[in-house]
A and B are shown apart, each in its own frame.
Chain A
Amino acid sequence: MAAPRSWALWSLCGRGWSPVLPGCRLPWLRSCWPSGPLGARPLSQEKRATETHFGFETVSEEEKGGKVYQVFESVARKYDVMNDMMSLGIHRVWKDLLLLKMHPFPGTQLLDVAGGTGDIAFRFLNYVQAQHQRKQKRQLRAQQNLSWEEIAKKYQNQEDSLGGSRVMVCDINKEMLKMGKQKACARGYKAGLAWVLGDAEELPFDDDKFDVYTIAFGIRNVTHIDRALQEAHRVLKPGGRFLCLEFSQVNNPLVSRLYDVYSFQVIPVLGEVIAGDWKSYQYLVESIRQFPPQEEFKEMIEDAGFQKVTYENLTSGIVAIHSGFKL
């Protein structure tokens, strides 16, 4: 943990100091702040600080949660179709790359937050199943005999094809979870999958439970990103990995211009034509612009206690994968 004085200066440097100040977990920081003749000042700052952005609108923090809930409730049914249409299918590649980066082995416990329709969870299950099968093939080829337990399990069809891996999909929105469950049923995913209704800022899990925590395209919708990061740190086991796949700032000016035109001119139109909902998709593209850029987000992750934080840009920075470890 950084020294208190530099912490205060760090947070004063405008990098997320407004969320830090009111819901502050370090009461001594507030007392460092000079009051006295400027006593009126803290009050107005706190009032301003309870407002946040909802796309390009300004709303109060209490309102934002409700509004985001409504957006996802409304888009849930066409969420997957719209993802394919808007990204021309590229979102599948991004999610595959996230799994490649994760490179889970059989036995990994994954928590997928804001996992709604289950894209990451299903990919995870496929990946560990393939890994497990490969491991077994390797064992057989290497003339290693299976143990008696394994042979007995094979005959009883009790073999765990996932090798002990489990994924917990957590989402705050009931409609998205419903869609996810329907998809799981339709595609035949049953083993190793659990669906939990929960808030990323206050996860319903004990400390030190998971090997990997992922949040794909969800963290920008959270009202207090720092709280979500702290929760992520809490529920991960020591040695656990935090992975975040999120829209970020484009580093190439030409691509950025094209991306802007596409985002603001085409995407709400797609939302209206395909899903009958202009405003939700307007919010989605605006919320991308409101999210901190790669470096700033990396610093926020470090603030939450993660180490060895890195990020990787995909598609010129349209999307970035941030990774950190709890050590």
Chain B
Amino acid sequence: MSAAMATLLRRSLRPLRAFRGHPRPAADVPLRATSHGAGLLYPEHIPTSLVQKALLAAGSAGMALYDPYRHDMVAVLGETTGYRTLKVLRDQMRRDPEGAQILQERPRISLATLDLGKLRSLPEDSFGREYLRFLDVNRVSPDTRAPTRFVDDEELAYVIQRYREVHDMVHTLLGMPTNILGEIVVKWFEAVQTGLPMCILSALFGPIQLSAQSLQVLVSELIPWAVQNGRRAPCVLNLYYERRWEQPLRALREELGITEPPRRIEGLA
């Protein structure tokens, strides 16, 4: 076979070779959104269509109710339903000086970025020391927050990531443990503060699994207290926590207008 013929043959065969993958026209791309390659706004991003987001929101809500230990489902629910609210939150952060700094510098809270030794050496009632105590007593780690995946805007992805990472700080500020009752109280506070649909849904549907006694305590004392504090306090996302480790917790609470919890709930739920 002559060289020229071979080249011709090769050139004509190249498109055939591509057909082994049976490509569909580019118009199908929204239908077949791939989760890799170009189009990613941030490393962990998975682009999703509206249909997928709706299905994810419904599925994750159902699964979170069915299996409360699926924290990743709560996270997914937040990401798929929170787009508009995140925009509002982000704009509000921009207007606040400390919040704007956070958006600029994008601090992250993880075991890599926290200096646990330094936190441990802080005085007893400082915010940093209390936060560390909260982590130890409840046996949680700041590294269990999964990265954002389904938010289609890079800055908003950071905002929701920050919201998740700050969640433990809110626990410390409110003095709530990580049992179901404590989480619900924190969710009520966050729902009032942020307006995120996921917080509102968790706050309304979380109590379904509670015992009658806990439910009674929740409704009569804890929810009113959480709502009151939520309304009074400025947005907790606007606090640059990393700069406030040495601040005494009491002073911080006063600054935010957060009062002591009405009762201890470690033993309940």
Contacts and interface: CB of A to CB of B under 8 A. Distances in A.
B238 interface: no
A266 B1 contact: no
Main secondary structure of the interface of A (DSSP, over half): helix
A55 B34 CA distance: 9
Interface stretch (A112-120, A127-135, A175-183, A272-280): A272-280
Give the bracket for the number of chain B residues in contact with chain A: 35 or more
B145 to A, nearest CB: 15
B26 interface: no
B59 A269 contact: yes
Given A14-B16, A289-B21, A36 B3 contact: yes
B25 interface: no
B121 interface: no
Given A279-B35, A289-B21, A270 B59 contact: yes
A195 to B, nearest CB: 31
Interface string B55-81: 110011011000000101100100000
Contacts of B9: 12
Contacts of A268: 35, 52
Interface stretch (A68-76, A139-147, A155-163, A257-265): A257-265
Main secondary structure of the interface of B (DSSP, over half): helix
Interface string B28-54: 100111111100000000100101100
B243 interface: no
A42 B32 CA distance: 35
Contact of B3 (A18, A34, A53, A276): A34
Nearest to B5: A34
Give the bracket for the number of chain A residues in contact with chain B: 35 or more
A289 B56 contact: no
Contacts of A34: 1-3, 6
A278 B60 CA distance: 13
B34 A286 contact: yes
A41 B6 CA distance: 11
Contacts of B10: 41
Interface in B192-235: none
Contacts of A293: 22
Contacts of A56: 21, 32, 34, 36-37
Contacts of A289: 21-22
A278 B31 contact: no
Nearest to B149: A278
B54 to A, nearest CB: 9
B3 A38 contact: yes
Contact of B6 (A14, A18, A38, A57): A38
A13 B10 CA distance: 10
A251 interface: no
A290 B21 contact: yes
B34 A12 contact: no
A56 B51 CA distance: 21
A276 B7 CA distance: 49
B10 to A, nearest CB: 8
Most buried by A among B36, B63, B70: B36
A282 interface: yes
Contact of B32 (A53, A260, A273, A274): A260
B13 interface: yes
B33 A264 contact: yes
B60 A292 contact: no
B62 to A, nearest CB: 8
B40 to A, nearest CB: 13
Nearest to B15: A14
B118 interface: no
Given A14-B13, A278-B35, A269 B22 contact: no
B34 A16 contact: no
A249 interface: yes
B17 A14 contact: yes
Nearest to A57: B36
A293 B22 CA distance: 9
B20 interface: yes
Contacts of B149: 278
A66 interface: no
A75 to B, nearest CB: 16
Interface of B: 1-3, 6-7, 9-10, 13, 16-17, 19-22, 28, 31-37, 46, 49, 51-52, 55-56, 59-60, 62-63, 70, 72-73, 76, 149
For the complex of A and B, the 6 pairs showing the least CB-CB separation, nearest first, are: A14-B16, A273-B59, A269-B55, A264-B32, A14-B13, A265-B51
